[in-house]
Amino acid sequence: MERIQIIAAKGAGSTQLWAVAGTPDGALTEILRCLPSGWIVTLTGESLTPEEAAALDIHSTEPRKLR
């Protein structure tokens, strides 16, 4: 399983956390596809363990909003 990156997305006066598998650049691109234009995304430097990803049922092709 690829590393599950944690991404912070900021826009519209709020911050969201997202998780997605992949390389850092690929993860940022994938999250931007889920958000309206104008949002800013950054890597948090954190990642999920395989156990955490399994518990959240996160798959490599499926970005997941955490909060």
pLDDT at residue 60 in the model:
67
Q: How confident is the model over 7-41, as pLDDT tens digits?
A: 999 999 999 999 998 889 999 999 999 999 999 99
One-letter amino acid identity for 38? G
Nearest to 30 by CA among 54, 58, 62: 62
Q: Which residues contact 37 (CB under 8 A, 6 or more apart)?
A: none
Nearest to 4 by CA among 55, 49, 35, 44: 49
Tokens found for residue 51: 């156990």
- Would you say how long the chain is, in residues? 67
Q: How confident is the model over 45-65, as pLDDT tens digits?
A: 999 888 888 888 876 668 899
